[in-house]
Amino acid sequence: MVAALTATPLPAIPRALAFYAGLGNGGFDPPSYTTVGYLPRDIRVADLDGDGRLDVALANTEAATVSVLRGDGAGNFTDRIDYGSEGGAAALALADLDLDGMPDMSVAAQSPDGITLLLQRPAISAVPERPASPGLALLPAWPNPARAAVTIPFRLAAPTQVQLSIYDVAGRLVARLADRAFEPGAHTLEWNGTRATGGRAAAGVYFYELATPGWRVARRVTLVR
């Protein structure tokens, strides 16, 4: 015998993304709503900003936009950011099109026939760079891009306090590899691709920064999975 299923009509909320939190038993909490562009037709879920939390991208046909909603990992989303798309956005796909470690979007138009490409670029520099001290050298990390561990070499001309940190493209601290005194000479430290809070860092672009009293310098490394 097949049990009858009944559906509760949804409230008329135009241009909204409905999020249903799962209960783990096949049921769901009542939905929460976030406003998006007019007549959304396609949706993709991915970590778009490299913070380890899932975000949402929607193609809005009548609005001719793509809406991006950044997730906080608990089912809540920031106010949307809209990007224009020629001819009405009918469908979208996500991929790292320019191989810089960040997801990009290709958006199919409804009319006229065509595709809009949205290539993501780092929004910072939240890790400001200064000219390196003559007694300080931060060298290229290897391998780069990296799938797991990254070796970061640097050189010091004199004993000094060193802080070596990893930041994401939004300038948030991901990991601190060292905060202590080092002797002069060549040194290497390894980042194993994890966050200080635990768990693997998401694929994307990161900055490793070497800071000493009065000086700091940063370089970029790409993590792929």
Residue 70 has pLDDT above 80, yes or no: yes
Strand order across the beta sheet in which 173-182 lies? 173-182, 160-168, 204-212, 215-223
Residue 4 has pLDDT above 80, yes or no: no
* Dihedral over alpha carbons 174, 128, 82, 18 (to 10 degrees): 20
pLDDT of residue 34: 76
| CB-CB contact of 123 with 169 (8 Å) | yes
CA 214 – CA 163 distance, rounded (Å): 12
Angle formed at CA 157 by CA 155 and CA 161, multiple of 5 degrees: 80
The 10 Å Cβ neighbour count of residue 157 is 12
pLDDT of residue 14: 52
pLDDT tens digits, one per residue of 92-111: 888 876 666 677 787 777 66
CA 205 – CA 220 distance, rounded (Å): 7
Q: Minimum mean pLDDT among 32-36, 71-75, 82-86: which range?
A: 82-86
CA 106 – CA 153 distance, rounded (Å): 37
CA 14 – CA 121 distance, rounded (Å): 31
Helix and strand totals (H; E) in the chain: 0, 16
pLDDT of residue 98: 65
Q: How remote is the C-alpha of 18 from its chain's centroid?
A: 22
pLDDT of residue 7: 45
Mean pLDDT estimate for the chain: 78
CA 110 – CA 66 distance, rounded (Å): 13
Residue 216 has pLDDT above 90, yes or no: no
Residue 187 has pLDDT above 90, yes or no: yes
Higher pLDDT, 127 or 207: 207
